[in-house]
Structure 1
Amino acid sequence: MRVTFKFNLSIHFYEFKQYDIMNTILDMKHTKVTYEMPNCYADFDGKFPFEGIELLKSLELTTVNVPLRFGGKGLGGNTGNRQVLEVLKEVGSYDLSLGRIYEGHINALLLIERFGDGNQKERYFEEAVNGKIFGVWNSEMPTEPLTFNDLNGVFELSGAKVFCSGASNIDRPIVTAEGEKGTRMVIIDMDELRLNEDYTYWRPMGMKSSVSCRFDFSGVNFDQKQILGGPYDYVNEPDFTSGAARFAAVQLGGAEAAIRATIYHLEKTNRTKAPEQLARLAKLATLQETGRLWLKHTGDELNKRYDAPSHSMFRANLFRTVVREICENILSICEMSVGLQGMMQPHPLERIHRDLSVYLKQPGPDRTLIACAESFLKYDR
C-alpha cells in the first residue's frame, strides 16, 4: 500500500527550500507502507499543530502501534520497534512539538495494549483507527497532586496535572492519579469536559506548539471502565524505562533538522567549500550517522525487552544519554557554522535551536547516568 499526501502550509522558512520528499518504508508482518513526510521544519506559530496531526492521520501513522487485529500496523510490542523509532525521528525532524504530541499518542496506545482489558482495547483501538488522538499526562506539582476517591462506584478526581501536551486537543489522555490502593491510570474522555487551559506554568522559549498547559481535574468523575491496569502499572518495567527511547528518537529528528537548516544556509551563502565549514560538516555527518546507528540498535533491543528486561532498560538509558550529547554537539556546531543569523528570526535554525534545547530537558538525566553505570558494572563487562 502506498500513501501519498500533498502537504502545503503557509509557513516561513527564511527562503528554506523544500528538499526532495523522503520516502521511509516500514516492513511489517504482511504489508508494506510507504509514507512521505515534508523534508523541512514547519512553523505552527506557537499554536497546536492541527495541520501536522491531520498529516499524520492521512499517512496512517497514528495507528502504527495499534494491533493488526484492530486495524492497525501492529508495531511496537515485541516487533517493529526500530520502525517506530524511525517514524518518531522523522516526525521530530518535521516539528518537535508535533513529535512530542505524537510520542505521547504512541505511548498511550502501548499502555492500552499492555494493560487494557478486552473491552478497553476494542473501544480505544477503534477510536484510534477512527482518528482520536491519545496522550499521557503524568506531571504534577507537589502542592496539588492528582488523586481520586471512590463515591460508591463513581470515582471523583481532585488535583491537577501540568505539562499536558496537546491540551484540549487530545481526545483520550491517560492521567496518573493516586487512590486508596496506589497510583492508577485513568483514561479521560476530554470531549465530555470543558476544562480551562492554564498556561501559568508553560511559558517556554521553545516547544510552544506543544501547548503543554495545566489542567485542574477537581470534580471530574469517571467509572471503573476508564481505569487502565492495576496499581503502579504505569511505572511497570521494562516499559517505563525503555520508553525513554521514544522521546530520544524525536530529539534525534530535531538534530537532523538543525543539520538540514545549516547545510541549506551554507549552500545559500556559497560557503560549502570553505575548509572550516567542511570540517564542521564532517563532524555533523559523523554525529548524524552515530545517532542513526544507535537508533537502529536500540530499536532491535526493544523487541526483546520482555525476554531480557534489564538489558533493554540499560540500552534505552544509554540511548537517551548518547542522544542528548549528540544533539548538544550538533547544536553547537550548527551555531558555529551559521553564526548570528541562525539565532535570529526568521532563520529556521533559530526555532529548531529553541525547540530542541527545551525538549532535551527531560527528567532525571543524572539518575539515568547512575543507572547506566550500575548496569554497566553488573551486565556488560
Structure 2
Amino acid sequence: MSFPFEALMACRAELEAEASANDAQAVFPTHGLARLRQLGVLSAALPLALGGCWPDAAPEAAAAGLLRLLQLVGQGSLALGRVVEGHVNALRLVSRYGTPAQYAALAADVRAGALLGVWVTDGARPVHMDQTAQGLILHGQKAFASGVGHVTRALVTARTQAGTTGMLLVAVGQGCVIHPSIGGLSGMRGAGTGQCDFEGLCVSPDSLIGQAGDYLRQPEFSAGAWRPMAVALGGIERLTTVLREQLAARGRAQAPAQLARIGHALIAAQTALGWTRKAALVATAQDRYDAGDIVATVNLARIAVERAGLDVIELVQRGLGLSAFIKTNVAERLTRDLATYLRQPAPDETLCEAAAWFMQRDLPPAAAALP
C-alpha cells in the first residue's frame, strides 16, 4: 500500500487549530490522533507484509516516506509529532531487538489501534524490576512520559537485580498510576507529558525485549535521532510560512529588512531539510557505514537542525515584533513548542564528540539520495 500524503497535507490546518485550542489547558489532541490513526499514520512504519506502507527491501524509500510523514505531522502539530515519533521509535526498537513473534504481536496491536510510547526517563524513584516466582515485578516511575494516559503499550527501561538495564514492553492500564501532567512546561503542552508509576506491577517475562544493554547500543541509539529531526523540520517550515504570511498580510513583506529575515528563514529551513535527509540516509544504511560515522553524522545533523530552529524562532520574533508574543497569534505557540521540542540532552557534548570523530576523517559521502 502507499501512504495518503495528500490526505495528511489536507488535515494540517485541522491539526494546528486543535493544537492552538488545546494549548492553554494542556489538553491532549485526541481528535487529531484519531484523524492520524484513520489515515494509517500509526501503522505506516510497519513492514509492508505486516500492514505497513513500505517494503523492507527498499530501506531508503521507507526512510524517505517516514521522513515526509513525520515532517507533515510536525507542520500541523509538534505535540502530535512527538507522540507519533515515540510510537515509531517503539516499533523500531521491538523490530530490531525483539523476537519475530513479539514484533508480529505488536504489529497486530497497532493495526487494531494501539498507541505506543518509549518512556526511559526515570522519576524520583527509578524503575527497576525484580524476578519473583509470580513473574517480573516493577517498581518506580517514569517521568517526561509523552502521551501518558493515551499510550496503550509503552517500551520502558528498567534496572535489573544484576545492575544491568533491560527493555520491557508494558501494557499501560490497570495497575499503573497515571499522572497526566508534570505541569509547568511552557511549550509542547499538548503532548500529554506526565508520569507513570509502575510500583508493584507484575509483567510476564515475555515482556522483555532483547538483551541487557540493547537500548543504549550504538549506532541505533543515536541513529534514531533523525526521526525527531523530521518532526522539528516540519515545525521550522511552518514557522517560516507563518512569518511570510503575516508579513504579507501587514504589507511589510517587501521591506528590505523583512525580506532579509524571510530569506534567512528559508535558508535555515532548507539547511534543516538537507541535514535531516543526510542523517536519515546514513542511519538507514547501517551495513554501508562505520558505526562511528553514523553516530557522529546524525549528531552533527541534530545540532544543525537545532541551530536552524533557533534561528527561525529569532527571525520570527524580530520580524513580527510584539505580535509574536500575543497568545492568540499562532506564531507565539509555535515558537514555544519548537523551542521546547528542540531541547534534547547534552547538545555541547554531542557536538564536541562528533567534531572529534571527524577530525581525522571525512563525513560519509551521500552515496545515494532520498527520493
Under a length normalisation based on structure 1, what TM-score does the superposition of the two structures give? 0.87
Contact 1:82–1:298 (CA under 8 A) maintained in structure 2:
no
State yes or no: 1:348 paired with 2:330: yes
Structure 2 partner of 1:204? 185
1:164 to 145, 152, 162: 145
- Amino-acid identity (%): 28
CA 1:68/1:3 → structure 2, altered by over 3 Å: closer, same or farther?
closer
Residue equivalent to 1:16: none
Q: Which runs of 5+ in 2 are unaligned?
A: 364-371
2:344 equivalent in structure 1: 362
3-state DSSP class of the match of 2:173?
A: helix
CA distance in 2, matches of 1:89, 1:294: 13
Q: Deviations over 1:177-228 (max 9, x none)?
A: 00124111111111344523153x4321111111211122111110111111
- The SS at the match of 2:157 is strand
Contact 1:238 1:306 in 2 (8 A): no
Instruction: Answer whether contact 1:305 1:311 (CA < 8 A) is retained.
Output: no
Cα distance, 1:53 vs. partner? Answer: 1.1
What's the CA shift string for 1:272-305, capped at 9, x where partnerless? Answer: 1222211111111111122222222222222212
Q: Which secondary structure state, in structure 2, belongs to the residue aligned with residue 284 of structure 1?
A: helix
Quick check: 2:279–2:298 contact (8 Å CA) kept in 1? yes
Please state whether the residue corresponding to 1:169 is helix, strand or coil.
Answer: coil
Aligned residue type for 1:307: R
Query: For residues 130 and 379 of structure 1, what CA distance do their matches in structure 2 show?
Result: 47
CA distance change for structure 1 residues 291 and 37 in 2, over 3 Å: closer, same or farther?
A: farther
d(CA) in 1 for partners of 2:180 and 2:35? 27
Partner Cα distance (2:252, 2:296) in 1? 42
1:89-168 superposed matches below 5 A: 89-141=71-123, 143-168=124-149
Decide whether the 8 Å contact of 1:89 with 1:252 is kept in 2: yes
- Alignment partners' CA distance in 2, 1:371 and 1:60: 38
**Counterpart in 1 of 2:367?**
none
Alignment: residue pair count:
352
- Relative to the length of structure 2, the TM-score reads 0.89
Distance apart, 1:133 and its partner CA = 0.6
Does the alignment pair 1:68 with 2:48?
A: yes
Instruction: Give the Cα separation in 2 of the matches to 1:218 and 1:191.
Output: 13
Contact 1:206-1:358 within 8 A present in 2 as well: yes
Counterpart code for 2:187: G
Distance 2:160 2:141 in 1: 14
Tell me the SS of whatever aligns to 2:215: helix
Shift of 1:95: 0.7
Alpha-carbon distance in structure 1 between the residues aligned to 2:205 and 2:59: 29
Matched residue of 1:162: which SS?
strand
Asked if structure 1 preserves the Cα contact closer than 8 Å seen for 2:224 and 2:283, the reply is no
- Specify the alignment match of 1:53 in structure 2: 33
Q: Does the alignment pair 1:281 with 2:262?
A: yes
Unmatched 5+ stretches in structure 1: 5-22, 25-33
Q: Matched residues in 1 for 2:207 and 2:108: separation?
A: 15
Distance 1:75 1:93, change over 3 A: farther
Q: Output the CA distance in 2 between the equivalents of 1:230 and 1:194.
A: 24
The answer to whether 1:261 aligns with 2:242 is: yes
> Counterpart in 2 of 1:29?
none
Equivalent in 233, 257, 260 of residue 252 of structure 1: 233
Which residue in the other structure is 1:373 paired with?
355
Is 1:173 equivalent to 2:162 in the alignment?
Answer: no
SS in structure 1 of the partner of residue 358 of structure 2: helix
Worse-superposed segment, 218-227 or 181-190: 181-190
Equivalences for 1:304-319 in 2 at 5 Å?
304-308=285-289, 309-319=291-301
**How large is the Cα RMSD of the aligned pairs?**
2.0
Amino acid in structure 2 at the alignment position of 1:64 = A
**Secondary structure of 2:345's match?**
coil
Q: 1:324 to 1:194 in 2, by over 3 A?
A: same
